Amino acid sequence: MDTYKKISALVDTWLEAHMGETFDLDIVCRQLQIFERENRHSVVMKLAYEVRQNRLEKINRTYRYIDKSKDVLNWWDADPDETIKINWPQGRDGSKFGFDGCVCVSPGDILVVAGVSNMGKSAFAQNFLWENMDNYPCDLMGNEYTPIKFKRRISRMKWNNPLREDGTPKFELIKRTEHWKDIIEPDKITIIDWIALPANELYTIGAVMQGIQDRLRKGIALVVLQKDENSPLGRGRAFSEELASLYLTIDKGRMTVRKAKEWFDHNPNGEVYGFDITNGGTEFRNIRKLVKCFNCNGTGHKGGGQCYSCKGSGYIEPDLDF
């Protein structure tokens, strides 16, 4: 029994130093240099006691500390009118997306734009920056930007000046390809164009976005993702959608409101908008509402060939639905 008490005390000290970790019997014994069979059995007995006391949980061979701490949220003092007044990208001809003015964005929200390659994701991200950089501190993170290419591109966006009167930029342009959460500034608008993950790690996009959201306080994040042409969601699929308060998808000439978690007077969920991109890929024009083609029910195919009504897109303008 004296041996058990001694080993029990050693395990207590070890557990206190490793709170929040997962471990197994071999890890504990190796780090405490307990190798004799009888002494290892004492460790087993001690860990079993901690499980019975509801301090540890055992799943198969693995133990974890049961975390009983509570993060109690002070909801009763919260201001329900505290929202981020976002200016959304719009057409330079005065046309607008239909969710403009109706989507509710709160501090700490994550917005997602998932789009097919070279179909307008970066245009949306940069226009989002252009519309909001005068009202909020902003960062633009990218994995493909270079100073020359970026300056060449934004030189076409003449409807706003990216420089202050003293010649300094209104935002920071940051080269970043991983660990985005590490440099999130909690009270800024952070635009990440775009998050690229290895094919065998796409499922981790949810954890990546959780890490980003955990860093936010008064700010928000706009996250851009790649989307495969025939997929309704960005890479990472449902994992990429779970935390988004707004989820937009971009296909060729078409944007869909996949998910709007909160809205004001008008529910835009499921709405589809057509658009054109001009001026070297920097300007939206001719933004208009679309509906599923009546002739092919949105498939783009009819009678073994391309649908003549929608020209294979699956969508038409409402006034063409005859």
DSSP 69-136: -------TT--TT----PPPPBBTTS-B-TTTTTB---TT-EEEEEE-TTSSHHHHHHHHHHHHTTTS
**Domain 2-65 falls under CATH 3.40.50.300:** no
Q: What is the pLDDT of residue 188?
A: 97
Q: What is the pLDDT of residue 321?
A: 45
pLDDT interval class at 322 (50, 70, 90)? very low
pLDDT of 256 above 90: yes
The residues, ordered by sequence, that sit 6+ positions from 57 with a Cβ below 8 Å of its Cβ are 51, 63, 64, 66
- Whose structure tokens read 């693995």? 62
pLDDT interval class at 75 (50, 70, 90)? confident
pLDDT of 320 above 80: no
Mean pLDDT score, 198-205: 90
All CATH 1.10.10.10 domain ranges in the chain, comma separated = 2-65
Q: Which of 133, 104, 143, 88 is nearest to 255 (CA)?
A: 88
All CATH 3.40.50.300 domain ranges in the chain, comma separated = 110-289
Higher pLDDT, 101 or 114: 114
Q: What is the pLDDT of residue 1?
A: 54
Q: What is the pLDDT of residue 79?
A: 85
Region of 99 (left: φ > 0; alpha: ψ -120 to 50; beta: rest) is alpha
Which tokens is 297 given?
A: 């029910």
**Given 3.10.580.10, 3.90.650.10, 3.30.465.10, 3.40.50.300, which CATH number is that of 110-289?**
3.40.50.300
Mean pLDDT score, 16-33: 93
Q: What is the pLDDT of residue 215?
A: 96
CA pair distance 214, 186, nearest whole angstrom: 9
CA pair distance 227, 235, nearest whole angstrom: 6
CA pair distance 167, 282, nearest whole angstrom: 23
The structure's pTM equals: 0.81
pLDDT of 304 above 50: yes
